[in-house]
């Protein structure tokens, strides 16, 4: 009785908002559960352990880890420079670096394809024996190109939030400029770095558009998980497509949990 009266006591406005939210959450859960539960469990396990999916998992893991590492190596110094130094027009620089963030990855991919393909620079690379297009290297470059702006953004805002007076004190205590960066600014931004790397890696695992353009979709060659999903759905092999999707879903859930753990309710996007 008591519960019913409390429910009646809440306003129709509040009640309808809560019902709407609950309906949306239910819809999401049904959609995701439906994906995983659709195939026969036996068929899903067979697909997950198939040679093709195992190859895709390995390729995705290797390329995404390398591209994430590459992102870190480049994003950390660039983000620090943008945060601390005035050079050229920092605002314009920030915009150019952020462009791939808002660009559809397909567009980024075709631009990369032109750059490493028929352009002068592509020709130049080929004359010294480097051909990127449609290789594993192309996957890494595509993932890097799309993700590095995101990591720069995260790290820049993290460095911005470190009061420069910490660095001033470190300097009066005898720290060199690299020393200040490595011993003060970077450790003070550790949380953002870990969270940023987690999201960068997860985005690299799932990168499709740019990879499709630059590396192509060749079975058992440039077949990352999203490419495997795409290839198998094209040939009507639903179980294999769902197997890739399930793994990508699991990775997303995992990174989301890690991200929330490090950042709580703070938003970094």
* Contact residues for other proteins, defined by CB under 8 A: 163, 165-166, 168-176, 179, 183-184, 187-188, 190
CB of 152 to other proteins, least distance (A): 22
CA distance 85 to 88: 10
- The smaller minimum CB distance to other proteins, of residues 180 and 210, is found at 180
- The smaller minimum CB distance to other proteins, of residues 193 and 240, is found at 193
- The smaller minimum CB distance to other proteins, of residues 17 and 182, is found at 182
Closest Cα to residue 207, out of 122, 112, 132, 104?
104
Burial tier of 88 (Cβ tally within 10 Å: 0-12, 13-18, 19+):
exposed
- The smaller minimum CB distance to other proteins, of residues 163 and 235, is found at 163
CB neighbours of residue 192 within 10 Å = 23
- The smaller minimum CB distance to other proteins, of residues 35 and 188, is found at 188
Total residues belonging to the chain: 269
Max CA distance (Å), the chain? 82
Please check whether residue 244 is in contact with residue 56, taking contact to mean a CB–CB distance below 8 angstroms. yes
CA distance 39 to 54: 18
What ranges in 85-224 are assigned the alpha helix state H? 90-102, 105-116, 120-127, 136-160, 164-172, 177-180, 186-188, 190-206, 209-215
CB of 97 to other proteins, least distance (A): 25
- The smaller minimum CB distance to other proteins, of residues 138 and 162, is found at 162
């Amino acid at each position: 009785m008591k519960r019913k009266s409390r429910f009646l006591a809440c306003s129709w406005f509040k009640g309808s908002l809560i019902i709407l939210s609950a309906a949306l959450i239910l819809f999401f859960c049904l959609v995701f559960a439906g994906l995983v539960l659709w195939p026969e469990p036996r068929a899903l396990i067979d697909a997950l352990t198939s040679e093709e999916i195992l190859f895709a998992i390995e390729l995705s893991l290797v390329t995404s880890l390398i591209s994430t590492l590459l992102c870190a190596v480049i994003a950390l110094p660039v983000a620090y420079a943008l945060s601390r130094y005035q050079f050229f027009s920092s605002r314009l620089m920030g915009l150019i670096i952020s462009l791939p963030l808002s660009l559809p990855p397909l567009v980024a991919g075709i631009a990369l394809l032109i750059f490493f393909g028929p352009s002068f620079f592509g020709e130049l690379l080929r004359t010294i024996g480097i051909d990127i297009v449609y290789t594993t290297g192309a996957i890494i470059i595509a993932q890097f190109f799309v993700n590095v702006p995101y990591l720069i953004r995260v790290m820049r805002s993290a460095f911005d939030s470190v009061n420069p007076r910490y660095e001033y004190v470190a300097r009066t205590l005898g720290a060199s400029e690299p020393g200040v960066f490595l011993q003060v600014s970077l450790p003070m931004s550790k949380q953002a770095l870990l969270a940023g790397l987690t999201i960068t890696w997860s985005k690299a695992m799932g990168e499709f558009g740019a990879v499709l353009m630059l590396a192509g979709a060749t079975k058992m060659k440039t077949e990352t998980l999203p490419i495997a999903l795409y290839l198998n759905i094209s040939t009507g092999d639903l179980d294999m497509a769902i197997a890739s999707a399930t793994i990508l879903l699991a990775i997303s859930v995992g990174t989301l949990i890690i991200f929330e753990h490090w950042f709580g309710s703070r938003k970094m996007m």
